[in-house]
Structure 1
Amino acid sequence: MAGRGGVDEKEWDEYVPIECTRDRRILRLNEYSKLEEAKEPLHSGIDVNKTCGVGPGMAFANAILEKDPNFGVIILVPCAVGGTSITAWSSSNSSLRSQMIERSNEALKYGGKIRAILWYQGEKDTETEAASHLFPSEYHIFLHRLHQELKYPEIPFLQVALASGQGSVNWLDNVRETQIAMENVITVDAMGLEVGADGLHLTTNAQVRLGRMLADAFFQTIS
């Protein structure tokens, strides 16, 4: 979700597709919890341990405004941290989930409401067989605690089913089966989208496509 599109050998090529361009109606909550005009890389200053490139967020927001020019101002609240397992988000004392809740509440202070949660995670949980088998229970725990702590259980949760993994294809299948079987969430399947030379992360063009797929899924929640 943090976006590695255009990243090669820890360097971002700085190519920004037209679908990801800046718009004064698209803002982001930065690392200081201040609003600013959103731009790529969306997760700059948020996912600080890895090089960020193009992700699905900007393409998603631009597609929303393309489909509905009267939608209003969109505030994106980037919270992703690459290379993290579901247990890092699901544990009772998860600093990642706490930060996600805190940043969401900070964004609400500027007005409006939370319209959707976009979630793309799980590659780390395909590294080992044990992690892939632990994923189902921990994912359910994460979702329960997230909605409980956000206090808005009706918020649409848009998840991305994995396009790639880090271990055996069977372990990837274990995680994907859980994602696709989840109830009360909307699933966008990334399988088949182009993966980069590292064999793990989506290319820039694939990230754009994913963002637009997420926008289509979002409109299903309000139709």
Structure 2
Amino acid sequence: MKLINLKTLLGLLLGAAPAFAQDAPEQMDLYLLIGQSNMAGRGATDAASQPNSAQIWAINRQNEWKMAADPLHEDKPAVVGVGPGLTFAQEILKSNPDRAIGLIPCAVGGSGIDDWQPGAKHGQTGIYAYDEMLARVQEAQKRGTIKGIIWHQGESDSSPEKKDAYAAKLADFFRRLRRDTHTERVPLVVGTIGDFYVTEHPDAASINQVITNYARKTKLVYLASAAGLVHKGDDTHFDTASARELGRRYAEAFLRKQE
């Protein structure tokens, strides 16, 4: 066997480094992605899931920055897939192509509004949704400033026992979130629950009304409608095309506030 001397080996390693090195920009426009499974994404991945754009990055649960690709989230690794976040970023980039984007994916599938309290542990995943989100935001803010927040949640609160308390809890959550992340003046886009879910769970109509009213009555809050989008066959989660369309609608709502 021919041995490679140390100098040659070092040269090979250094030469290969650029092929796998991922160095995120020092300063990025950051966007926080939060909510439950339809923000995390459950659509099937495909060729468009890995755009390999050097201008769109995402921070993972290990606080590592990687070029953004679906799945962005890691809440339920066995089922996570395409959500609205990546398409949202791509649309935002089109409007300001000179600015690098850093995504902060923190959605937790199956989480109710009560799971987004400090110290609350989500039973399905064991994730402390709020605490982990806050820690990841603080790490991400070392490389930029949060420019926007997008939220999709409410399916888990679409029941007779929970729906009436949702409005007050949602408002309390966002007051706390803005205070703790120093985003009092940052635009927030909230999304409605899919029509298909409302058909199967009529109490979700009340949640959609709360979300709509919150956007209408609260400064710096905008609405992304899920009307007309379709599920992937489970009556709960957007399919790949609909998840991406929802991402475009989030971006449209976010960009509309600048008009």
Q: d(CA) in 2 for partners of 1:25 and 1:138?
A: 36
Kept in 1, the 8 Å contact 2:76–2:109? The answer is no
Structure 2: unaligned runs, 5 residues or longer: 1-38, 121-127
Partner of 1:28: 58
- How far does residue 66 in structure 1 lie from its aligned partner after superposition? 2.3
CA gap of 1:25–1:67, structure 2 versus 1, over 3 A, is same
Paired residue for 2:237, among 188, 201, 205? 201
CA RMSD of aligned residues (A): 1.9
Partner of 1:4: 42
Structure 1: unaligned runs, 5 residues or longer: 7-13
TM-score norm. by structure 1 comes to 0.87
2:105 partner amino acid: P
Kept in 2, the 8 Å contact 1:118–1:159? The answer is yes
Q: d(CA) in 1 for partners of 2:160 and 2:78?
A: 25
Q: d(CA) in 2 for partners of 1:195 and 1:168?
A: 12
Residue 151 (str. 1) matches residue 177 (str. 2):
no
Partner of 2:13: none
Aligned residues: 209
1:37-186 equivalences under 5 Å are 37-43=67-73, 46-48=74-76, 51-70=79-98, 72-89=99-116, 91-94=117-120, 95-110=128-143, 112-126=144-158, 128-163=159-194, 164-165=196-197, 169-182=201-214, 183-184=218-219, 185-186=221-222
Kept in 2, the 8 Å contact 1:158–1:188? The answer is yes
CA gap of 1:162–1:201, structure 2 versus 1, over 3 A, is same
Q: d(CA) in 2 for partners of 1:50 and 1:136?
A: 32
Q: SS of the residue aligned with 1:115?
A: strand
1:204 partner amino acid: T
Q: Deviations over 1:160-194 (max 9, x none)?
A: 01114378643111101100000231110112111
Q: d(CA) in 2 for partners of 1:16 and 1:166?
A: 31
Q: SS of the residue aligned with 1:170?
A: coil
TM-score norm. by structure 2 comes to 0.75
Runs (4+) of structure 1 exceeding 6 A deviation are none
Q: d(CA) in 1 for partners of 2:75 and 2:213?
A: 29
Q: Percent identity?
A: 30
Q: d(CA) in 2 for partners of 1:220 and 1:132?
A: 30
Larger Rg: 2
Kept in 1, the 8 Å contact 2:104–2:140? The answer is yes
